[in-house]
Amino acid sequence: MDITVEGLTKYYGVQKAVDNISFTVKTGEILGFLGPNGAGKTTTMKILTCYIAASAGVVTVGSHNVADDQEIIKKSIGYLPENNPLYTEMPVMEYLAYVGELQGVSSAMMRERIGEMIRTCGLNEEKHKKIEELSKGYRQRVGLAQAMIHDPEILILDEPTSGLDPNQIVQIRELIKSLGKKKTVILSTHILPEVEATCDRILIINKGSIVADGTAETLRKQAQGQELLTIKIEGGTGDEVITAIQAIDTVEMVDPISKDNLTLTVQSKAEASSVKAIFDLCVSKKWYLLQLTPLETRLEDIFRDLTLN
């Protein structure tokens, strides 16, 4: 099921939490929601899941409008809210059965679904405990299990891996990735490597508006534009090397890092690569190329650029 958001705006009193945002998520796509605290991620998710109404704008899930067909939409969405609220006085199995019943899982399917959720979320040893007795990581898994109990077509997860240990994080990411092949997934997170590892597309929101939309690679290209290389050369003198590299057509700028001028940062001209030329140069001059590393702009830097100021 596709989700289409058009001109979505939400006011809390006089404060504008979400300001006229539009985007589309297609089936089989995992969309990562990034943004600083208070950017409007959670508000957007609350509107998508029919918890609160938008002040303006149209949200369509599949062929249904969020304002009109709440029941059908709620049935096709699995939602893990922020802070993972749970009925802590209930045992895990009972809780999953309750949510399943509310979601309309038939009693014939119930056992199977609960069993499957307990397997995929690794809850087997804790399944008879009360939720309040579980550690944070296990609670998070219960939260995920309840979101997926009715095998929804859309998953909306607000910080799905918070509180999990590194092994579990890898497991959950893999789970989300495999689910994302058939379903529509939207997840929000603060952990930037996570977005890169799991999401097909990234949406960065700041102060209620979308500031970037694209894959991790396109975002990098946008932010960076030009190729940056760190190289280290042995066999020539510093000045000789710098002049020779500067003479290459595609090189725009050379910047020495070390004092002997043999470790350098090379910036190429827009949309050009100097990697091969540098290699050929070293071969012809009989220099040794000890290091040639492309410098990637880290997602953290892009994020900071877009959301500060």
Partner 1 sequence: MRIIWIIAKRELKSFFDSLTAYIMLIIFLGLSGFFTWLYGSDVFLVGQASLQSFFGVAYWTLFFFTPAITMRTIAEEKRTGTIELILTKPITDWQLIVGKYLACLMLIGIALLSTLPFYFTVANIGPVDHGAVVCGYIGLLLMSSAYISIGIFSSCVTNNQIVSFLMSLLIGMFFLIIFQALSSNFTGIIGSVLNYLSIADHYQSMSRGVIDSRDIIYFVSITMFALMMAESYLIRRNLSEK
Exposure string (b/e) for 60-73, b if CB count within 10 Å is 16 or more? bbbebebeebeeeb
Residue 248 tokens read as 């290459």
Question: How far from the centroid of its chain's Cα atoms is residue 107's Cα?
Answer: 35
In the complex, what is the shortest distance from the CB of residue 201 to partner 1, in angstroms, rounded to a whole number?
24
CA angle 2, 206, 46 (to 5 degrees): 45
The long-range contacts involving 97-100, CB below 8 angstroms and separated by at least 24 positions, are: 99/146, 99/149, 100/149, 100/150
Q: Which of residues 28-57 bind partner 1 (CB under 8 A)?
A: 46, 49-53, 55
In the complex, what is the shortest distance from the CB of residue 85 to partner 1, in angstroms, rounded to a whole number?
4
Q: Please report whether residue 4 would count as binding partner 1 according to CB under 8 A.
A: no
Selected binder of partner 1 within 8, 34, 77, 212 (CB under 8 A): 77
Q: Please report whether residue 71 would count as binding partner 1 according to CB under 8 A.
A: yes
Selected binder of partner 1 within 7, 68, 102, 234 (CB under 8 A): 102
Residue 52 tokens read as 């609160």
Please choose, out of 8-16, 196-204, 217-225, 237-245, the segment that lies near partner 1 by the rule CB under 8 A. 8-16
Q: Please report whether residue 99 would count as binding partner 1 according to CB under 8 A.
A: yes
Please choose, out of 97-105, 111-119, 195-203, 247-255, the segment that lies near partner 1 by the rule CB under 8 A. 97-105
Total residues belonging to the chain: 309
Q: Which of residues 103-142 bind partner 1 (CB under 8 A)?
A: 103-104
The answer to whether the beta carbons of residues 200 and 29 sit under 8 Å apart is yes
Binding stretches for partner 1 (CB under 8 A) = 10-14, 46, 49-53, 55, 70-72, 74-75, 77, 79, 81-83, 85-90, 98-99, 101-104, 146
